[in-house]
Each structure stands twice: as structure tokens, then as C-alpha cells.
Amino acid sequence: TPRRNRCVCLYMLLALSHLSAALSAAPRPSTYFATTLGGLEPVLAAELSSPEIGASAVSCGRLGVHFEGGPEVGARAVLWSRTALRVMELLERREGVHTQASLYDFARAVRWSEVVASEQQTLSVGAVLSLDRARASGKMRAGDWVCRSCNALVFASKDECYQCGEPRDADTAAAARRRLEGGSG
């Protein structure tokens, strides 16, 4: 089967501590993504489009809203949006990332010295995959389980959900242990 062309985006989380540096830099238009709870995307889009924030090219996505603007718009989104959980600035975008090696090559190509100001700052990497995409891409392995409470994908070796603490039901746990120990499940 042909591979779908995947687009991978690297975002930087905007925080109040970074805003003064962003505002003092030369103004440049940026692309942002603000995350929100499911169903609140239109509310967040209206907030971002409002004169108080002043975002342009606002479009709803899955669990968030894409928008554009200068550093002031990003700062106002962080400060004044009531429904945004996080506001992130797009750093880089690349098409055709299909393997772990191509993802690492993409990440290495970013000029991190322009993003990370000092050696005391750290990076955190996260990924967002739908459960169907995780199963299709091989990210879900035999024995992994889906939490009934919050729908998180949990490793087979774990007996409780890392996200909400919900314990795995006994039948699923026993079958997973047999598979991990080499027995049939």
C-alpha cells in the first residue's frame, strides 16, 4: 500500500517568561497553534479573531486552532485567551517524514541555537497520534492497552494508566503478562 505523505511540524510552547524577548525582537509574522478542549475550537477561534488578540488566518483544527500574527499577537493569545490550553509557535515544517531516522534528521536540521537561549533551558518533545494512526503505524504493540477512562494508549508493562491512574482490568492484565513472558495470550 502506498504511504500517505505525512507532514511533521515542530512547535515551541510560548510562555510568559519568553514573551519579553519575543516582543523586543524584530517583528516577524509567525504561525501559531493554540490547543483547547474538544468542542471549544469555534469559541477559541472567535477569541483569537477578536480585536483584543487580533489574530489573522484563523482556522479550526482538531483540538485546537491555527492562526497567524506577529509576536504581539502570540503574547496577547497567551495572556488573554480563556479557552486556549497552550499557545505554540511553528518552528519548522517538513513533508514526507515516514521513519524514525527521517524524524531525527528533521529535528537535527533545526537551528536550535536560535530557539534555546541558554544551556539551562531544556527541551520537551511530545507527539500527537490518533489511536487508529498509532495502530496503523505500528506504534501500538501487542499487549498495549487503551484506558477505558481517558482513552490513553498505555504500554503493556504498565498496570495503571499514566494519565489518569485508572487500573487495567484483570483479564487484560493477565493476558498481557502471558504475552510478555512468551506464552500465548
Q: Which residue has the higher pLDDT, 8 or 133?
A: 8
Q: Find, among 126, 146, 147, 129, the residue nearest to 138 by Cα.
A: 129
* Rounded average pLDDT over 15-40: 77
Identify whether 185 is part of a domain.
no
Whether residues 35 and 94 fall in one domain = yes
Identify whether 73 is part of a domain.
yes
In residues, how long is the chain? 185
pLDDT exceeds 60 at position 25: yes
pLDDT digits (tens, 9 = 90+) for 97-138: 777 777 778 888 887 777 777 777 766 666 555 555 555 555
> What confidence score (pLDDT) does residue 77 get?
96
Please tell me the distance from the alpha carbon of residue 11 to that of residue 108, in angstroms, as a whole number.
14
pLDDT digits (tens, 9 = 90+) for 29-84: 899 999 999 999 999 999 999 999 999 999 999 899 999 999 899 999 999 999 99
Identify whether 2 is part of a domain.
no
Whether residues 38 and 115 fall in one domain = yes
Whether residues 24 and 51 fall in one domain = yes
Whether residues 58 and 108 fall in one domain = yes
> What confidence score (pLDDT) does residue 154 get?
80
> What confidence score (pLDDT) does residue 99 get?
73
Identify whether 175 is part of a domain.
yes
Whether residues 52 and 140 fall in one domain = no
Residue 182 pLDDT class (50, 70, 90 cuts): low
* Rounded average pLDDT over 7-25: 66
pLDDT exceeds 80 at position 156: no
> What confidence score (pLDDT) does residue 138 get?
53
> What confidence score (pLDDT) does residue 169 get?
77
Residue 95, strand partner residues: 7
In total, how many domains does the chain have? 2
Residue numbers of the domain that contains 160: 132-180
CATH number at residue 74: 3.30.2130.30
pLDDT exceeds 50 at position 1: no
Whether residues 22 and 110 fall in one domain = yes
Whether residues 19 and 42 fall in one domain = yes
**Could you say which of 124, 142, 157 is where a domain stops?**
124
> What confidence score (pLDDT) does residue 137 get?
54
Sign of CA dihedral 14, 65, 126, 82: positive
Whether residues 119 and 157 fall in one domain = no
Whether residues 143 and 82 fall in one domain = no
Whether residues 14 and 77 fall in one domain = yes
Please tell me the distance from the alpha carbon of residue 2 to that of residue 96, in angstroms, as a whole number.
12
Whether residues 120 and 155 fall in one domain = no
> What confidence score (pLDDT) does residue 108 get?
80
Whether residues 145 and 115 fall in one domain = no
Q: What is the pTM of this model?
A: 0.61
Q: Which amino acid is at 132?
A: D
pLDDT exceeds 60 at position 183: no
3-state SS of 27-72 is CCCEEEEEECCCCCHHHHHHHHHCCCCCCEEEEEECCEEEEEECHH
> What confidence score (pLDDT) does residue 29 get?
87
